[in-house]
Structure 1
């Protein structure tokens, strides 16, 4: 019979590794974007969270 507990923990570890890789890639992309010269005509638009109560 397969050891489902071990299989589950192996899967959870791989998912955590994948999340770390994606987070690092996102952070590197954001840092690269922020360090570049501004693009003419590019506007930053703030999006308000509708679920958040006004402060």
Structure 2
């Protein structure tokens, strides 16, 4: 008979590792975004007249 308890714990450990990997990737991307220099945004006209808006 399969050892269901060991199978459950193996799956649980793998799931936890996957979650931790995703969290680490998210943090790395967030840090890269925060450290990136700010860009100057330019608002371009949309070509519509004020009455049409």
* TM-score w.r.t. length of structure 1: 0.69
C-alpha deviation, 1:38, in angstroms: 1.6
Alpha-carbon distance between aligned partners in 2 of 1:32 and 1:4, rounded to the nearest angstrom? 42
Structure 2 partner of 1:49: none
Task: Give runs of aligned pairs for residues 1-55 of structure 1, distance below 5 A.
Answer: 1-41=1-41
C-alpha deviation, 1:40, in angstroms: 3.1
Alpha-carbon distance between aligned partners in 2 of 1:21 and 1:30, rounded to the nearest angstrom? 14
- Post-superposition, which runs of at least 4 consecutive aligned residues in structure 1 deviate over 6 A? none
Q: Which ranges of structure 2 fall in alignment gaps of 5 or more residues?
A: 42-53
How large is the RMSD of aligned CA atoms in angstroms?
A: 0.9
Matched positions, count = 41
* TM-score w.r.t. length of structure 2: 0.71
